Amino acid sequence: MRVVADSLAVAVTGGGVLAAALVLARTRSPVLALGVLLDLFTAAGLIRLTGPPDLQRTATAALVILIRHLAVFGLTTGRRSSA
């Protein structure tokens, strides 16, 4: 089950990179592209949580979500300051 979940997570992570690259190319918005990337990284992290409780994997998924909040907040604040 873990092997399947890890494979799916890798696929979602790769898809996230592609989607973020496309969004960045089309909208020229790094913040939006980063948001899309981290959304799909969050999905991948949650897929990896499958299986018996693993504190390290759960903490990693929580960290990804925290980093997402901080990164988008920081970029959004920086953009407002320079506007």
Cβ partners under 8 Å of residue 23, min gap 6: 29, 32, 33, 36
Residue 25 CB, nearest distance to another protein (Å)?
Answer: 8
Residue of the chain from 1, 3, 81, 83 that contacts another protein (CB under 8 A): 1
Binding mask 4-43 for another protein (x = CB under 8 A): xx--x---x--xx-xx--xx-xxx-x-xx--xx--xx-xx
Residue 71 as a binder of another protein (CB under 8 A): the answer is no
Half-sphere exposure of 73 (CA within 13 A, CB side): 6
Residue for token digits 């592609």?
18
Shortest separation between residue 77's beta carbon and another protein, angstroms? 9
Long-range pairs of 75-79 with CB within 8 A, sequence gap ≥ 24: 75/30, 75/31, 75/34, 76/31, 79/31
* Residue 55 or 82 with smaller CB distance to another protein: 55
Q: In the complex, which residues of this chain contact another protein (CB under 8 A)? A: 1, 4-5, 8, 12, 15-16, 18-19, 22-23, 25-27, 29, 31-32, 35-36, 39-40, 42-44, 46-47, 49-55, 58-59, 61-62, 65, 69, 72-73, 76
